[in-house]
Amino acid sequence: MSKKGRQISGVIGIMVIFGLVAGGIVVQRQHHQREVKIAQQQAKIKRQRQAQEAKKQRESQKVAAAKAKEERLKAESQPTIVAEQALDDYLKQIGFSGTALIVRDKQVLLDKGYGSANRAKQLVNTPDTLYAIGSTEKALIATSLLQLQEQGKLNVNDPISRYLPDFPNGQQIKLTDFLHHTSGIVGRDQDNQTKTLDQLIEEIIKNGIKEQPGKWHYMDANYIVLTKVLEKVSHQDYKTYLKEKILKPSKMAHTGFMTDQYSRLPAASIGYLANGPAGQLPNFTQLPGVGDMYMTATDMYRFDRALWTGKLINEQSKAQMFQPGSTSHYGMGFYNDPALIINRGYLSGWNVSNGFSHGGRIYIVLFSNEKNEKVSLSKMNGELYTKITATI
């Protein structure tokens, strides 16, 4: 082979060697990339499995917590108590349907359920039955405002314009006017749409006023405005505030807020009219602070006791709350009647009366789930109060 041929062969050999080396590098790189990809896929699968296991664990913890809560509530269930047979006989005689809790001097005279909680499921009312409380929720909102006043965060004599600058006649209408239902506002009409608290306030502002403050006119819109003030001053949504500052210190463990899931609660009652179910429930987003809560009669009594004994507000605030703001006897969340300090609520068949004597010795809590013209809670209060005081 000539010198030139040998040179060409050498070059070709070198090229072949470079080709083999380069090919090896490419193969090695591809192999590495496959290994990296496999490792990434395996890591992804591992993360997915870990996420699934964590989700299962969270769900398991939720189920366990729910079971634990159910067991705790069962353990805390209230026994039926009939210490005064005359009271029990009276409620059976008039055909009362609901739960009655009557206490005198810290002694439970009666704690008993009557009639059906759910006719379709054949469930009876007991001391643990849940009821929608309607307008009696306003007392919790009034208590909250007085708490904020004690903390120096507001004054109930402030004009509403301090908190809602665009409110009509806002310089003239004080927070007390809303608390007493003497604001003079037009209010709003309730429908069944889902709305936010801010949307409700916009409607109330838009509808304006019909007269100067001073004349009593009971309406939910007054306390919807106060619920907005509560949120603005406390920097919390009203449900969180009520849970932390009212329910917790009062030990109200069987109280919550109405949703579409309410009827699924084991202890939930159904509201009835005399001739059958009350029908469609309201859209509770339109009742913030004025009718979107449920509780047991016992929890209402716990609220009353916490209020009376100074666990929620001081004596000065309590006196301010019970002082009537008009000839209607309505103070702040309660009527100050001659025998009882009382509030009432009605909503879709549920009828609630919550009262206690001026000295705090007697408590009469009547939670009914049947709107029946033949059974008047006001008349019942009078009859029961007479029977209770007759033996003092």
pLDDT in the model for residue 194:
97
At residue 23 the predicted structure's pLDDT band, cuts being 50, 70 and 90, is low
Predicted confidence (pLDDT) per residue in 254-312, tens digit:
999 999 899 999 999 999 997 778 878 999 999 999 999 999 999 999 999 999 999 99
pLDDT at residue 11 greater than cutoff 80: no
* Domains, in order of start, for the chain: 81-389 (3.40.710.10)
The pLDDT of residue 182: 98
Average pLDDT of the chain to the nearest whole number: 90
Q: Does pLDDT of 191 surpass 80? A: yes
Q: What is the pTM of this model?
A: 0.81
Model pLDDT, residue 76: 62
Residue 41: what pLDDT? 84
pLDDT score, position 145: 98
HEC profile of the chain = CCHHHHHHHHHHHHHHHHHHHHHHHHHHHHHHHHHHHHHHHHHHHHHHHHHHHHHHHHHHHHHHHHHHHHHHHHHCCCCCEECCHHHHHHHHHHCCCEEEEEEECCEEEEEEEECEEECCCCEECCCCCEEECHHHHHHHHHHHHHHHHHCCCCCCCCEHHHCCCCCCCCCCCEHHHHHHCCCCECCCCCCCCCCCHHHHHHHHHHHCECCCCCCCCCCHHHHHHHHHHHHHHHCCCHHHHHHHHHHHHHCCCCCEECCCCHHHCCCECCCEECCEECCCCCCHHHCCCCCCEEECHHHHHHHHHHHHCCCCCCHHHHHHHHCCCCCCCECCCCEECCCEEEEEEEECCEEEEEEEECCCCEEEEEEECEECCCCCHHHHHHHHHHHHHCCC
Mean pLDDT computed over 332-338: 97
- What's the pLDDT score for residue 58? 74
Q: Report the pLDDT value the prediction gives residue 19, as an integer from 0 to 100.
A: 56
Q: Per residue in 362-382, pLDDT tens?
A: 999 999 999 888 888 999 999
Q: Is the model more confident about 24 or about 324? A: 324
- pLDDT beyond 60 at 75: no
**93, pLDDT greater than 70:** yes
